[in-house]
Chain A
Amino acid sequence: DAGVIQSPRHEVTEMGQEVTLRCKLISGHNSLFWYRQTMMRGLELLIYFNNNVPIDDSGMPEDRFSAKMPNASFSTLKIQPSEPRDSAVYFCASSRTDRGPSTDTQYFGPGTRLTVL
């Protein structure tokens, strides 16, 4: 089975432009997590979906960020307009949450390195 797939792997854009990051879940997984990693703040959870429904978006920085799951196996994270402080590595992870009140193992993608000039 292929792991979590993210695209693009690298993105360089200019301030004010729209950026869309993409993530394909592992087949059979039903939970999706978007993280952001910077040197200053480490690995931060942005949003968590379960069965295509956003469950916790408290980590989304502001209205410029939005995430969707148009179907059970795919997600997008959009930043509009982008700013230099959004420069970071963005990871998505998926898991199969069916064991009750406990997290299931999250498997991470390779990440998208975003640079906003």
Chain B
Amino acid sequence: DAKTTQPPSMDCAEGRAANLPCNHSTISGNEYVYWYRQIHSQGPQYIIHGLKNNETNEMASLIITEDRKSSTLILPHATLRDTAVYYCTSGYSTLTFGKGTMLLVSP
């Protein structure tokens, strides 16, 4: 399974865009990139996934570089409730979760 690298923590002001980067240089050609987040004490929550093209849903946008070696999760207008650990992951039949990025959204 591909390994991912994320910064351990990031800060964002409420109402601003949060851009969370992820490196996945060893990803295989048919492996999707998935983003999850985990709010304290809860189960990981699915956010978005993509293969090659950029994706957008009601929660976030996902920008994947053309070489697929990195991606960025964008929360367009972060709120206090977006404070969580964000995991970028990929895999073939299973997913390997790293330590993620702790995003702190402040007033």
In the complex, number of A-B residue pairs with CB atoms less than 8 Å apart: 56
- Cα distance A107–B87 in the bound complex, in angstroms: 14
Question: Which of chain B's residues have a CB closer than 8 A to the CB of A93?
Answer: 43-44
- Cα distance A97–B94 in the bound complex, in angstroms: 11
Instruction: Decide: A45 and B42 in contact? CB cutoff 8 A.
Output: no
Q: What DSSP secondary structure best describes chain A's contact surface?
A: strand
Q: Which of A22-37 contact B (CB under 8 A)?
A: 33
A: contact size bracket: 20 to 34
Question: Which of chain B's residues have a CB closer than 8 A to the CB of A109?
Answer: 43
Question: Which of chain B's residues have a CB closer than 8 A to the CB of A107?
Answer: 46
A102 and B30 in contact (CB under 8 A), knowing A42-B97, A55-B93? yes
Q: Which of A43, A105, A110 is packed against the most chain B CB atoms within 10 Å?
A: A43
Instruction: Decide: B46 and A56 in contact? CB cutoff 8 A.
Output: no
Q: Count of chain B residues with Cβ under 8 Å from any Cβ of A?
A: 24
- Cα distance A48–B87 in the bound complex, in angstroms: 20
A101 and B30 in contact (CB under 8 A), knowing A91-B44, A108-B43, A109-B43? yes
Question: Which of chain B's residues have a CB closer than 8 A to the CB of A110?
Answer: 42-43
A105 and B34 in contact (CB under 8 A), knowing A42-B98, A91-B43, A110-B43? yes
Min Cβ gap A76→B in Å is 18
Choose among B32, B43, B44, B98 the residue that contacts A103 (Cβ–Cβ < 8 A).
Answer: B32
Residues of A within 8 A of B (CB): 4, 33, 42-43, 45, 48, 50, 55-56, 91, 93, 97, 101-103, 105-111
A-B residue pairs in contact (CB < 8 Å), sample of 15: A4-B43, A42-B97, A45-B94, A48-B94, A50-B93, A91-B44, A93-B43, A97-B93, A102-B92, A103-B91, A103-B94, A105-B49, A106-B46, A107-B46, A108-B45
